[in-house]
Chain A
Amino acid sequence: MYTCGIDIGSVSTEAVILENSNGKDDAKIYSYIISPTGANSKIAAEKALEKACFQSGLDRSGIDAIVATGYGRINIPFADKNITEISCHARGAISAFAGTRTVIDIGGQDSKVIKLEDGNPIDFLMNDKCAAGTGRFLEVMARALEIDLESFTDIFLSTDGHVDISSTCTVFAESEIVSLIGQGVDKNKIIRGLIYSIVSKITSMVERIGLEEPVCMTGGVAKNLGVVRALEEKLNVKINIPEEPQITGALGAAYLALNL
């Protein structure tokens, strides 16, 4: 049996095909892809499915069930069901680290904290309607600093100290860092300040919902080890990161498709 989960996010769309030959516990990733969403979420979902099938050499008709998730999950005509990213990230995190109690997901324009009990979500919080505390915040700041986002991790790990970024609004924070650069403040300390700014927003959400270990972090921002280390420091916990954290939602969707 093959199932597919498609996570249509605001920035990227991920598709995961799961192969399951000997019962649900034996499912494994057959193929996955990550591609930009662009302006049309339906086309993005269609293309992601096509690419995932092509990569695996599987014919589309060979997929037994498809679950769509993410902000673009509604009205995907070929999906058998749409399930929220809350349930999908929870399921995906469990498949990577059984026993997870808290999931921190930081995506492109959205962040959430999910509390689990016996593998099932029991409570969650999502960020406000602004970009603060999301991957987009870091992207905008990297552009303003004219520094590659990928280098944030090395800079964070190799620099001591930071400057406080007081603005949580992405637009105002951008003005603030332009002003700090103008004052001659070390860019590396600004980058650490930006990471602590995003982490402060997330830790507040984690504390509101109540931290329970083990903790798993999902979403594209989990690839930024600077953010992960800063979160571990502020929350005083070890955070588990799946091998490819960005596909966790789609993976969870593919697992949930096994139940259809």
Chain B
Amino acid sequence: MVIEVREKIKTNIRRNLDQKYFKRLLGIIARKPVLYAYGSTFSSISDRYLNIFSIRSIRDTYNGKNPVGFGSLFLPYELFYATGITPFLPEVMAGFTAGLGIADQTLKKASSSWYSQDLCTFHRSASGAIEMDLFPDPSFMVCTNLACDAAQKSFYHYAATYGIEKNYCLIDVPYNNNPRSIEYLAGQLKRLAENIEGAAGKKIDMDRFARIIELSNEFRKWALKVNDIRKKLLDYPPNFNGLNFILPFHGLIGTEEAVKLYKNVYLELSGLLSRQKEDPDADKNPPKRILWMHLKPYYKNEIFETIDSGNCKVVFEEINNVYWPRLDPKRPFESLALKMLSHPLTGKASDRTAALGRMADDYNIDGAVLFTHWGCRQSNGSARIIKDYFKERGIPVLVLDGDCVDKSNSAAGQIKTRLQGYMEILNSK
């Protein structure tokens, strides 16, 4: 019954691909009693809060109360919240197009508008959605060259489509993490704040900024606690998937909602860990422990059910790594610059493998799966390096080709065979 309601909502969205319909639907679903009733249809506390806060944050981008800024994934959104701007992340929303089952239409639109088939489908699906006028109207557009090359070009094109090229900013993250880079990047973030002020007519409030930095630190604390619990936890809530937390992990940092979400995830997981510790059978036939690298398909798929049914478990995901140090509220721009520079995808591929190596140690992994999303040069380019790195440590790596957004570009049967073959190797050890 519960799943039927959710499927009905998706079906209605597919039939009414129109921004006005989205606004009306979000206006109804995001009302507190309805939203909490909807949230209660999820069996775990983690999923409940994840869905409630995600819907609410998306509603805020459509309701016209605050100016909306589009941003790419790795930006410090604390800065948006400090200026009273509601961030909208087209790449994450492209993942939602897959989840809602509308990516075939957004991708088709992008294809008929001359977007190359070679372009990553996160950017292509977002392009199609913009061409179809499904996203809210932005006041400005910000992108960073951290990790992703396609984003810079795609976001500029998005800005051109909305006629706001003058309000497009590119944050250039230097290759090396050193004091000079911090100064250079902090200077850009200060200018970005000024540009946002100009484009959106919102003044940055430094007291508010300091509070948001504190909230960001609070989020970081709870995210670390969640990650710590996961080092031992095997008994997860049903349908829990760490790869679903990409919106709060990036786009909600600096909000009270993100803190509340991660605090609740921690409480739920710590309860399960206590139960696991008391279970005398918990250590019998333990599953093989897998580190998941990069992202996953966001359309309906059987990947994680296949893994669970093969006596294996994804115990951690690369994207949930808390890679940055505590932020200093007295030096917010410099702290956010350091946060961006600390990302393992900034700079050399060996920075990424070093970070993966720490995760491998922390989570005591038996294997690692790198999902190579079609068109994602920044991640796929390291596939060989990652495979060789783990090989030296005696950890087999499965490089799994697929597509996070376009299900027609992923062969479910081939993925299943590769996964099962890989798990047979892990289980034979």
Question: Out of A71, A124, A129, which one reaches B421, CB within 8 Å?
Answer: A124
> With a CB–CB cut-off of 8 A, which chain A residues contact B421?
84-87, 121, 124
> With a CB–CB cut-off of 8 A, which chain B residues contact A129?
411, 414
Q: Is residue A126 contacting chain B, with contact meaning CB distance below 8 A?
A: yes
Tell me the residues in window 375-399 of chain B with beta carbons closer than 8 Å to chain A beta carbons. 396
Query: In the complex the two chains form, is B428's CB within 8 Å of A126's CB?
Result: no
Chain B binding surface SS class:
helix
Residue of B nearest to A71 (CB): B413
How many contacts A-B (CB < 8 Å)? 35
| Given the contacts A122-B396, A126-B418, A83 and B424 also touching, CB distance less than 8 Å | yes
A: interface residue count bin: 10 to 19
Residue of B nearest to A74 (CB): B416
Query: In the complex the two chains form, is A120's CB within 8 Å of B428's CB?
Result: yes
Query: In the complex the two chains form, is B396's CB within 8 Å of A71's CB?
Result: no
Chain A binding surface SS class:
mixed
Q: Is residue B420 contacting chain A, with contact meaning CB distance below 8 A?
A: yes
Residue of B nearest to A123 (CB): B396
Kindly name the residue among B396, B401, B424 whose own CB sees the greatest number of chain A CB atoms within 10 A.
B424
Query: In the complex the two chains form, is A71's CB within 8 Å of B417's CB?
Result: yes
Tell me the residues in window 184-220 of chain B with beta carbons closer than 8 Å to chain A beta carbons. none
> With a CB–CB cut-off of 8 A, which chain B residues contact A124?
421-422, 425
- The distance in angstroms between the C-alpha atoms of A165 and B417, with both chains bound, is 30
Query: In the complex the two chains form, is B417's CB within 8 Å of A121's CB?
Result: no
Q: How far is the CB of B235 from chain A (nearest CB, A)?
A: 26
- The distance in angstroms between the C-alpha atoms of A122 and B428, with both chains bound, is 9
Query: In the complex the two chains form, is B417's CB within 8 Å of A122's CB?
Result: no
| Given the contacts A120-B428, A123-B396, A123-B425, A84 and B417 also touching, CB distance less than 8 Å | yes
Query: In the complex the two chains form, is B424's CB within 8 Å of A84's CB?
Result: yes
> With a CB–CB cut-off of 8 A, which chain A residues contact B428?
87, 120-121
| Given the contacts A84-B424, A121-B425, A126 and B396 also touching, CB distance less than 8 Å | no
> With a CB–CB cut-off of 8 A, which chain A residues contact B411?
129
> With a CB–CB cut-off of 8 A, which chain B residues contact A123?
396, 425
Kindly name the residue among B401, B420, B425 whose own CB sees the greatest number of chain A CB atoms within 10 A.
B425
> With a CB–CB cut-off of 8 A, which chain A residues contact B422?
124
> With a CB–CB cut-off of 8 A, which chain B residues contact A85?
417, 421
> With a CB–CB cut-off of 8 A, which chain A residues contact B414?
126, 129
Residue of B nearest to A208 (CB): B384
> With a CB–CB cut-off of 8 A, which chain A residues contact B396?
122-123
Residue of B nearest to A84 (CB): B421
Residue of B nearest to A83 (CB): B424
Question: Out of A71, A86, A128, which one reaches B424, CB within 8 Å?
Answer: A86
Query: In the complex the two chains form, is A121's CB within 8 Å of B424's CB?
Result: yes
- The distance in angstroms between the C-alpha atoms of A28 and B340, with both chains bound, is 62
- The distance in angstroms between the C-alpha atoms of A85 and B417, with both chains bound, is 8
- The distance in angstroms between the C-alpha atoms of A84 and B424, with both chains bound, is 8
Residue of A nearest to B424 (CB): A87
Encoded as 1 (CB less than 8 Å from any A CB) or 0, chain B from 399 to 429 comes to: 0010000000001011001101110110010
Q: How far is the CB of A156 from chain B (nearest CB, A)?
A: 30
Q: How far is the CB of A138 from chain B (nearest CB, A)?
A: 21
- The distance in angstroms between the C-alpha atoms of A70 and B161, with both chains bound, is 48
Residue of A nearest to B429 (CB): A120
Tell me the residues in window 289-342 of chain B with beta carbons closer than 8 Å to chain A beta carbons. none
- The distance in angstroms between the C-alpha atoms of A177 and B424, with both chains bound, is 41
- The distance in angstroms between the C-alpha atoms of A83 and B422, with both chains bound, is 11
Kindly name the residue among B401, B411, B420 whose own CB sees the greatest number of chain A CB atoms within 10 A.
B420
Q: How far is the CB of B411 from chain A (nearest CB, A)?
A: 5
The 5 closest A-B pairs by CB, nearest first: A86-B421, A84-B421, A129-B411, A87-B424, A84-B420
B contact set with A: CB distance below 8 Å = 396, 401, 411, 413-414, 417-418, 420-422, 424-425, 428
A contact set with B: CB distance below 8 Å = 71, 83-87, 120-124, 126, 128-129
Q: With contacts A86-B424, A121-B421 known, what are 11 further pairs, Cβ within 8 A?
A: A71-B413, A71-B417, A83-B424, A84-B417, A86-B417, A87-B424, A87-B428, A121-B425, A121-B428, A122-B425, A126-B418
24 A-B pairs, CB-CB below 8 angstroms? A71-B413, A71-B417, A84-B420, A84-B421, A85-B417, A85-B421, A86-B417, A86-B425, A87-B421, A87-B428, A120-B425, A120-B428, A121-B421, A121-B424, A121-B425, A121-B428, A122-B396, A123-B396, A123-B425, A124-B421, A124-B422, A124-B425, A126-B417, A126-B418
